[in-house]
Amino acid sequence: MQKNVQISRALISVSDKTGIVELARFLHSRGVQILSTGGTARLLQQSEIPVVEVGDYTGTREMLDGRVKTLHPKVHGGILGMRDNAEHRQQMKDYGIDPIDLVVVNLYPFEQTVRKGCTYEEAVENIDIGGPTMLRSAAKNHQDVVVVVDPSDYTALQAEVESTGVVSFDTRRNLARKVYLHTASYDAIISGYFNEEQSVDFPDTWVMSGAKLQDLRYGENPHQQAAFYGDPFRSEASVATARQLHGKELSYNNIIDADAALELVKEFQLPTVVIIKHTNPSGVASAETIAQAYTKALATDPVSAFGGVIAANRPIDEAAAGEMAQLFVEIIIAPSFTPQALEILTRKKNIRLLETGTLDAKRDREKFVRKVTGGFLVQDRDLGMIDNIETCRVATEIKPTAEQYRALIFAWKVCKHVKSNAIVYANDGQLVGVGAGQMSRVDSSRLGVQRAQMPIEDTVMASDAFFPFRDSIDAAAAVGVKAIIQPGGSVRDEEVIAACNEHGIAMVLTGMRHFRH
């Protein structure tokens, strides 16, 4: 039966005290008896709001350093008792249990405690037991009980009671839904902490938790709905942690492209600019300044850069902003923007400016999840990178020059972020051509040459995976490539190496593949 509930008795016990005094004062003004515990009770008493301590109500003092205070039949019987059930009513009367109509509870700050750094013992002590039990009990019995876990719901609850004197079934059901989302997230965060503590990378049950950062206008296409969620333990600079300074709301595709751009630019230590179109780089360059790096990156493919996403690993200054403002782009994402740069870029109404803060060299060891129909895949984030390219095996008779080594590691970093099959042509500090996402590697090799706006001659080539045949080597030699970097590991490696020797091309084998599907 979907009935309205009038609040006569409330139990309030919160860790986050935001707005609780105002709500309690409102409830008291309507004659509601308030039960409370610990710090919440003291705060309400200090605010001159009459409170009945739960220990006085149950006749049992808190024990075990406060671990046991609300775990009592008079509390849970008052929450779980079904008002329309005659047997429940009789049992409640027999045991002196009064009905509790409103439960306002939020939980020990486990997430905040572990995020700021704590001992294992401190983490365990911040696992709430009584709170989730009361919340789940009240949510289960939402036919008779109002339950509130989110302080942002206090105002709406107060307005409904003030307007109608009761709380509707629809409101109670919606609040119960929010409770189960909250407790599920709370448990997911705790289990994630224990997995991390015990180095369990792939537990038997995979659980995820994420707080909504924003609703999106639509997904990849207008007929798909979408929203953006944040990982509770996110700490590394990312699109999820970035602050939007200007421009239209981010779209689903904006977020995907901005993430691709930022993750690629993080690979570089020198001032570097990345231009992304549909998650693939159309331009990448390193230079002494961001303005110079942008000019070089744009030169790779100025046509594809139109409507793209720009990422930089240094602050955007006036010189860089002046250059970038000449091109239509969707997003610029960078550690920061100088006031002069903002003054230039904000003249463009729609351009989205995202500020990430410093791009720390430390990278989070998070897992990547990819949905497939009927399930999902979980894997380690691809943080692999060559520490020192000169320690890699040179498989050919010719060894790369110092300049070629620099170009090879640059190309390898870019290639890691190109859709497979991936082929990259580069100079020392500048992307020259990209062949992305082709069904055969030789097609990617040819596409990279066809799309190049600058000479391929004397460049180096990077391949994300081994060459299955020598055809890509022959194609590279035909356009003047001087050195190649690839993982190796093909049954035809010797054939490929022989082709390099035949053409006078140096080849470095990394032993590390970077497929990107």
Residues labelled catalytic = 140, 278
Can you tell me the distance from the alpha carbon of 54 to that of 74, in angstroms, rounded to the nearest whole number? 9
> If phi over 0 gives left and psi between -120 and 50 gives alpha, with beta otherwise, what is residue 209?
beta
Cα 186 to Cα 135, 160, 191: the distances in Å are 12, 28, 9
Do 363 and 383 touch, CB atoms closer than 8 A?
A: yes
Type of residue at 442: V
Report helix, strand or coil for 285. Answer: strand
Report helix, strand or coil for 463. Answer: strand
Do 36 and 44 touch, CB atoms closer than 8 A?
A: yes
Of 465, 460, 479, nearest in space to 514 by CA? 465
Do 309 and 333 touch, CB atoms closer than 8 A?
A: yes
Contacts of 312 by beta carbon, 8 Å cutoff, 6+ apart: 265, 271, 272, 273, 274, 290, 293, 294, 320, 332, 333, 334, 335
* Cα 318 to chain centroid, rounded: 30
Q: Where are the beta strands (DSSP E) in 235-374?
A: 243-246, 272-277, 280-286, 308-312, 329-334, 352-355, 367-372
Contacts of 403 by beta carbon, 8 Å cutoff, 6+ apart: 428
Cα separation of the two ends of the chain: 52
Do 239 and 264 touch, CB atoms closer than 8 A?
A: no
For 180, the token pair is: 């189960």
